[in-house]
Amino acid sequence: MSGSDTVAFGKPMRDHFLLAKDYLPLNHGSFGTYPKSIRDDLHKWQDLSEAKPDTFLRYDYPKALQSAREAMASFLDVPAHEVVFLQNTTTGINTVLRSLVFEQGDVILHFSTLYGACEKTMEYICETTPAESASVMLEYPVGDDEVVAKFAEALEKLNADGNKVRVAIFDTISALPGVVVPWEKLVETCREHGVLSLVDGAHGVGHIELNLGRAQPDFFASNCHKWLYVPRGCAVFYVPERNQHLIRTSLPTSHGFIPVPREGSQAIYNPLPPSMGTPFTNLFAYVATIDNSPYLCIEEALRFRKDICHGEEAIRQYCNNLAVIGGRRMAEILDTDVMEEAGNSKRCCFANVRLPITLGSGESEVNEKDAVKVAQWIAEKLAMEYDAYIAIYIHGGKFWTRLSTQIYLDLEDIERGAKVLKVLCERVVRGDHIGILPLR
């Protein structure tokens, strides 16, 4: 396979990771995992913190954090003062939506494929502010041009009807299905219409090429613990200087917050040493007493990817090729098909393969009302009976699996997973799941 001639990807690379010997991880995209050398780096920072808690957290940690921010900023091609760290992407989405001031008629525009936690955040904002939400329906396969056209059409119609699209949320790569979204073109569309672009890049960093300096989204958050080999939880939050005044506080609000002066108010004591950062970076430098050691593993993760994996292009080439070949092979074993990539300009480490289960009212079909529970049943059986995991979901009235490729996997792993899925789907068709569907 292309890329494997120069780098020992596949089973040799698995020795670098902490994965259990017989476990079949075909779902790297959900939670990620990291190499042993980065585990050692994580423990180094934790040990330093415990050896001298006050010295480390007050004086050493800020310097190490600054170094990590600079490394991450260089990776994304943006200035360091526009980059901070959070625990996850959902926190970044919350930070933006809870900071913006919405007025009557303001609309939050999004796609129907928006990640559930972000959609619930948006719905909470609609419950507690005058904002309303509007969804653009996407049913894959759909090409990039159509995605952008649907988005622009919805935006223009909402504005023509007397509303004001204040902010639009969209992915770099949607979670379910796992498909690259033309996010740069969507950012341009937002800019042309005076709409703030909020990019959910949860699957972006370490997965696809990102140049935020060129794309210039208004807000961007991405999990480093998914694809960059950084321990959980660590996410990068990018806000260009032009928009930093819109972010009033971190979540939770902490020592970096600067209140608007009120008559008779006094300065609030900050017990931390003076910071050399900017007001924006100070907001997120110290948020709460949590283990921020994953933030400090950024540099070691980038070193591993460069020195051991021979760089970003080698990683992408291997994983993308394996997704294409592996997806086809899985579909062959299941006697189904791969979700088309018609008109999509970029590949990623996901392949969406249809499962041989049909929704309907027939004897061997799954009733639509039971679809989610059947997907949960398959997922639980994968984990508990077969020591494997791969994402199962419903889209467009069909059951799908989202194959997630990674440098420690090879085609043999995917074939093994496909054979397990085939057995489980046959069990569903026989009705083995009936009466024992999980209730949670």
Q: In this predicted model, what pLDDT tens digit does every residue of 359-405 receive, in sequence order?
A: 998 888 999 999 999 999 999 999 999 999 999 999 999 999 999 99
Predicted local confidence at residue 344, as pLDDT: 67
Residue closest to 110 by CA, chosen among 77, 154, 66: 154
Mean pLDDT of 320-348: 90
pLDDT above 90 coverage of the chain, percent: 87
Q: In this predicted model, what pLDDT tens digit does every residue of 68-118 receive, in sequence order?
A: 999 999 999 999 999 999 999 999 999 999 999 999 999 999 999 999 999
Q: Is the pTM of this model over 0.85?
A: yes
Q: In this predicted model, what pLDDT tens digit does every residue of 19-56 receive, in sequence order?
A: 999 999 999 999 999 999 999 999 999 999 999 999 99
Q: Are strands 173-174 and 179-180 parallel, antiparallel or unpaired?
A: antiparallel
Q: Please, what's the b/e burial string for 304-340 (b: 16 or more CB within 10 A of its CB; e: otherwise)?
A: bbeeebbebebbbbbbbbbbebbbebbbebbebebbe
Q: Concatenated DSSP letters for 338-358?
A: BPP-TT-----SEEEEE-S--
Comparing 187-196, 206-215, 276-285, 334-343, which segment has the lowest mean pLDDT?
334-343
Q: Are 366 and 360 in contact (CB under 8 A)?
A: yes
Beta bridge partner(s), residue 135 = 110
Predicted local confidence at residue 438, as pLDDT: 46
Residue 166 neighbours by CB distance under 10 Å: 19
Intra-chain end-to-end CA distance of the chain, in Å: 41
Average pLDDT score, the chain: 94
CA distance linking residue 323 with residue 341, whole number of Å: 12
Mean pLDDT of 263-272: 85
Predicted local confidence at residue 258, as pLDDT: 86
**Which token pair is 247?**
């972010």
Mean pLDDT of 244-270: 90
Residue 410 has pLDDT above 60, yes or no: yes
Q: Which residue has the tokens 């059409």?
A: 153
Q: Are 401 and 392 in contact (CB under 8 A)?
A: yes
